[in-house]
Structure 1
Amino acid sequence: MDKIKQRLAFIYENENIETIYDAIVKRLNEAKAKNLRERKQNWDESDVVLITYGDQFSEEGIPTLDTFKKMFDGYLANKFEIVHILPFYPYSSDDGFSVIDYKKVNPIIGDWTNVENLSKSARIMFDYVCNHISAKSEWFQEYLKGNPEYSNYFTEMDPSIDLSSVTRPRALPLLSKFKLANGEEKYIWTTFSDDQIDLNFKNPQVLLDMIDVLLFYLEQGAEYVRLDAVGYMWKEVGTSCIHLEKTHEIVKLFRDLLDEAAKGTVMITETNVPHLDNISYFGSGSDEAHMVYQFPLPPLVLYSLHNENGNYLTNWAKQLDGAGQDSTFFNFLASHDGIGLNPIRGIIPEEEILSLVNDLKEEGALVNYKKNSDGSESPYEINVTYLDALNKQSYSDDLRVKRFVLAHSILLTFPGVPAIYIQSMLGSRNDYKGVERTGMNRSINRQKYILEEIEKELNNQETLRHKVFKELTNIIRVRKEEALFHPNAKMEVLELGDKIFALKRVKDSESLVVLHNLSNDEVQVNLFGKFINIITGAVEEFKEGISLNPYQFLWLKPTN
């Protein structure tokens, strides 16, 4: 508790922090008095995350979260221990990330009883959209009405002030103009859109209200908490307004509260930024995020398969520091957002990134751009399903499956906790009708399904969806049963040629070698000995090296 007081003194240098501290302690004790459910302490090889929307599957007249539970119990429960439900609160835009009310469940999805029912099948990750709130929210609407209670909840800014040093994630205005009820016009800080109003954490009451929300989520059963767009929380004119010291201190404060209220709750920071900035949210390794997103992995794997060359992936992985025993990486290939490009700037030359973007655009991908400080624009995100990103339109389904499952072999064998997006599990292609309907590029990878229709496709052995689902199911099963895939087991990256991405996982005196042929050619690997192929269970001896077929991967454990 002394730590919490010290953090408050750092965040609010000139404030009387006793009142703030007392309010936090009171709310924390209320949460602890509710005897929150016991959490799993730490993570292991069995932990695989499913990323999904709460209204992903529907049946007429049934709350979609109940329909999701039916789908999950029937098809997914033996594959995924944790379900990340993307924001399931009432919202006004951005498919949930402009939250109208943090403490309510979107009525289409159900209510808190439906969330509780799902938590009986899996541990649940909640989204904590802590940087901004919907323009339609009560907080912002009361601000517009002139309610003095909310007068300092948002950041007003004179538009003549030079804000050119502020990091911009999107090619949209940083300030948005609003008219108050008295006719006065104000320019308000909106990092992402004019419907996503940044909260002003310089106001201690905002911090107290958001701590109340955080602890409320624990009371409702959240065992994982994802801090969305957390890097932008603190603003200081004249700085980049991202990753500031006080932002980190607030994140550490959130971690202290989680550990105090419900030890074992996992906090994940979402910061789609270059690698060194991203891993700064580990803090000392035990005082900030438990997990950070492994943002370079999706574009690096995509680049490697697109170019049939794993050099950049190998070199990056070789230099990747372990996260330590008290923290780990949250690995993924696809998510509800596009494939971010900023995390590989500095790893892959810009001209090669632009070449990748152009190639994918020719195959039907869409692209979002960000505005640079000099007024130019750069692509920051490729919008496409990961299945279509990896494959040309002319490819056969069999080739699509090979390349796609190979990519997921990298995901499932890499150090950290792997997460698979529902569209990947379902073998989804680009949803252009969704883009046309919403006008948003990101809708290309956010298709929703009628339960009966998607079940029919999954159960038809001739469909691409069935083939992808079957192959991913198999390697997920093997990963979950192999102790050498513990998130914190050591990784050694092997250099076996441009077309190979290879690694060794090591724990105690045991090891396991993973080989990936990134090319459409047969490749010879100079690796010898007798191994158990843990996917097939067969014992194989390689006296003259290993010959890998196009896009073949092997998980090999030495027999001795």
Structure 2
Amino acid sequence: MPENSSKPELLRRMVEHISVLYPNVELEALAKELISAMGLEVTAEPPRPHRNLWDQADCLLITYGNSIVKPDEKPLTTLKRFIDDYLQGAVNSVHILPFFPYSSDDGFSVMDYLMVNPALGDWEDITAIADNYKLMSDVVINHMSARSRWFDNFKKRLDPGKDYFFEAHPDDDLSEVVRPRNSPLLTEVETADGSRYVWCTFSADQVDLNFKNPAVLAEFVNIIRHYLSRGVKIFRMDAVAFLWKEVGTPSIHLQETHEIIKLLRTLVEHHSPDAVIITETNVPNRENLTYFGNANEAHIIYNFSLPPLLLYTLLSGDCRHLKTWMMSMPPAQAGTAYLNFIASHDGIGLRPLDGLVDDEHREELVKAIRKFGGKVTYRKSREGVDKAYEINIALYDALKGTMEGGADHWQSQRFICAHLIMMALEGVPAFYIHSLIATENDYAKLENTGHNRSINRHVWQEQALYDALADKDRHHQIIFEQLGDSLRLRCQQPAFHPNATQFTLHLGTGVFAFWRQSIQREQSIFCLSNVTRSEQLINLADINLIGTDQWTDLLSGETLADLEGQLKLSPYQTVWLSNLLVSDTLAG
């Protein structure tokens, strides 16, 4: 009989994880230490596997804690009021981007993981939001601020911190390391033991942590437990692909990185069976998919290829690349899901287009974004040439026209079309706050910071935002109202469950179309979007609608009278053809 067979399941699984990471330590002792750090007993009951922790009612708002401000009020209080007053029934989950004290990168250079940035509020403000919404917090797990206490102790050669940061030497073979930045990989620092070189994947102010030291892993188990105690239910593992480093390798997606995610999931799900882990891995599509593991790593992964593909589709009027990608995507098995988004606090990454869109078409996209006032961030490829890595632009401005024709009067319709496609796809939809309210490029902030990403990180004064959302002559009000109504409609449709069946339809290059069917098969929805600025005619016979059902466009309320006739789609119009009306759904 295997040695581990008589051990409690939690202890057995932890020993298996640790044996991959730290084969030379006393495995069971470290396993028990980490279990205790999570506040668990070794006999803790395991959760039921392959359980979907989401349904069609789930929609996530992505926002900084201070995206909306009011004089003399804590921004977290202002944010909660906006969500309560304006987004009821539209979103039920909130991702507050890093709300901790930080030194740079708008929060992603964390100085103290256990404090709330006093400029935003305090833990009570965080808990107040968590009491009413599913709260998502970043776990900035790859790196920490060079101004943190841990790094100060590293330089002083004191604990905790002395061995918490990853070191290498300029003479090491670092030629294979995959980088998302052009900044130097190693930063020289003076310590009490002399000069040392620390590994900095992103910037000299963001020093990579050393997970080869099990004490660092134990620290993060404590951090996650603290977040759970404050009401956090969704954990976004920031930049996790770079977590484990090995000199002489690419130092991305290493086996140990995947094992740490598995280990943390094991602990989190034993502590809180309804908690969710999301991995943030802005990499090519095939690499991204590996973070599902065998339904034992991330519960949810970001659909990073969707934003640039959908943007390309609407700017070119050609959905071929988007269709090809969607047909290649495996359905997420039960207990896992995709997170669908088009815009976020970062730019729109172009690396997820690798293998999906050739360099010529990618350059067409980059040129269009420049024409619409956006910026482009570059990194050096392995061949030593600068390559467009990320486009930086507010999504509303990114969709102001087409590649061929330039700016036009279809901007708002194109923008709404993009989001109607996104929210109907398999997965959980997520809206960056500046997309939900159609914020435009913030050139003043861009000039002030000198960082390209600032163009899409506007801070609204509360009264100015409320005035914009009340003015029927402004695009903010029109778009916000239509997107909100569509989200409230969407959350009632079982065919939009994140794990409902999805098939791609082929209706030409100008119409992006797919079919969703609910898990219980009581509802079908055919989602058709005209991605061009020309009218499109669709033969309904090509869609193969069941003749014994009555089909209604959920968005307009119009019922199809002749299933053998034609459907006329105006430029950028979307229809959701359903055999089950909202009233039927509610009654069911």
Q: Does TM-score exceed 0.5, indicating one fold?
A: yes
Distance between the aligned counterparts of 1:525 and 1:252, measured in 2? 47
Q: How does 1:127-526 map to 2 (within 5 A)?
A: 127-147=138-158, 149-181=160-192, 184-285=194-295, 287-392=296-401, 395=407, 399-507=410-518, 508-526=521-539
Is the 1:82–1:125 contact (alpha carbons within 8 Å) kept by the matching residues of 2?
Answer: yes
Which amino acid letter does the alignment assign opposite residue 494 of structure 1? L
Is the 1:133–1:199 contact (alpha carbons within 8 Å) kept by the matching residues of 2?
Answer: yes
Q: How far does the alpha carbon of each residue in 1:123-170 deviate from its partner, in whole angstroms, 9 at most, with x for none?
A: 110111011100011000111122154221111211111201010111
Residue 569 of structure 2 is aligned to residue 553 of structure 1: no
Q: How far does the alpha carbon of each residue in 1:276-316 deviate from its partner, in whole angstroms, 9 at most, with x for none?
A: 1101010002x110000000000000000111000110111
TM-score, normalisation: structure 2: 0.91
Residue 118 (structure 1) shift: 1.4
Residue 551 of structure 2 is aligned to residue 541 of structure 1: no
Distance between the aligned counterparts of 1:120 and 1:221, measured in 2? 7
Selected match of 2:137 from 121, 126, 138: 126
Is the 2:150–2:162 contact (alpha carbons within 8 Å) kept by the matching residues of 1?
Answer: no
Q: How does 1:1-16 map to 2 (within 5 A)?
A: 1=10, 2-16=12-26
SS at match of 1:154: coil
Q: How many residues align?
A: 551
Distance between the aligned counterparts of 1:453 and 1:540, measured in 2? 42
Which amino acid letter does the alignment assign opposite residue 528 of structure 2? L
Distance between the aligned counterparts of 2:126 and 2:368, measured in 1? 42
Label 1:559 to 1:97 Cα distance change in 2 as closer, same or farther (>3 A): closer
Which amino acid letter does the alignment assign opposite residue 470 of structure 1? E
Residue 559 (structure 1) shift: 6.8
Residue 509 (structure 1) shift: 4.7
Distance between the aligned counterparts of 1:520 and 1:329, measured in 2? 29
SS at match of 1:541: coil
Which amino acid letter does the alignment assign opposite residue 519 of structure 1? T
Is the 2:131–2:231 contact (alpha carbons within 8 Å) kept by the matching residues of 1?
Answer: no
Q: Which residue of 2 aligns with 1:36?
A: none
Q: Which residue of 1 aligns with 2:5?
A: none
Q: How far does the alpha carbon of each residue in 1:165-199 deviate from its partner, in whole angstroms, 9 at most, with x for none?
A: 010111111111112256x2211100000011100
Which amino acid letter does the alignment assign opposite residue 527 of structure 1? L
Which amino acid letter does the alignment assign opposite residue 392 of structure 1? G
Distance between the aligned counterparts of 2:235 and 2:300, measured in 1? 10
SS at match of 1:540: coil
Residue 382 (structure 1) shift: 0.2
SS at match of 1:65: helix
TM-score, normalisation: structure 1: 0.96
Is the 2:347–2:393 contact (alpha carbons within 8 Å) kept by the matching residues of 1?
Answer: yes
Is the 1:524–1:546 contact (alpha carbons within 8 Å) kept by the matching residues of 2?
Answer: yes
Which amino acid letter does the alignment assign opposite residue 578 of structure 2? K
Residue 25 (structure 1) shift: 2.0
Residue 441 (structure 1) shift: 0.3
Q: How far does the alpha carbon of each residue in 1:67-105 deviate from its partner, in whole angstroms, 9 at most, with x for none?
A: 111111111132110000000000000000000000000
Distance between the aligned counterparts of 1:527 and 1:197, measured in 2? 57
Instruction: Give the share of equivalent positions with the same residue, in percent.
Output: 39
Q: Which residue of 1 aligns with 2:584?
A: none
Is the 1:32–1:262 contact (alpha carbons within 8 Å) kept by the matching residues of 2?
Answer: no
Is the 1:77–1:121 contact (alpha carbons within 8 Å) kept by the matching residues of 2?
Answer: no
Residue 83 of structure 2 is aligned to residue 72 of structure 1: yes
Which amino acid letter does the alignment assign opposite residue 170 of structure 2? P
Distance between the aligned counterparts of 2:454 and 2:577, measured in 1? 39
Is the 1:31–1:219 contact (alpha carbons within 8 Å) kept by the matching residues of 2?
Answer: no
Q: How far does the alpha carbon of each residue in 1:321-355 deviate from its partner, in whole angstroms, 9 at most, with x for none?
A: 10111100011000000001000111011121012
Which amino acid letter does the alignment assign opposite residue 261 of structure 1? H
Distance between the aligned counterparts of 1:547 and 1:57, measured in 2? 40
Q: How far does the alpha carbon of each residue in 1:438-490 deviate from its partner, in whole angstroms, 9 at most, with x for none?
A: 11100000001111111111111111111110111121111111110000001
Which amino acid letter does the alignment assign opposite residue 17 of structure 1? L
Residue 373 (structure 1) shift: 1.9
Residue 370 (structure 1) shift: 1.3
Which amino acid letter does the alignment assign opposite residue 539 of structure 1? T
Q: Which residue of 1 aligns with 2:585?
A: none
- For structure 1, the 5+ residue unaligned runs are 34-39
Q: Which residue of 2 aligns with 1:37?
A: none
Q: How far does the alpha carbon of each residue in 1:233-290 deviate from its partner, in whole angstroms, 9 at most, with x for none?
A: 10111111000000000000011011110001011000000111101010002x1100
Is the 1:31–1:261 contact (alpha carbons within 8 Å) kept by the matching residues of 2?
Answer: no
Q: Which residue of 2 aligns with 1:532?
A: 552
Is the 1:41–1:264 contact (alpha carbons within 8 Å) kept by the matching residues of 2?
Answer: no
Distance between the aligned counterparts of 1:541 and 1:487, measured in 2? 30
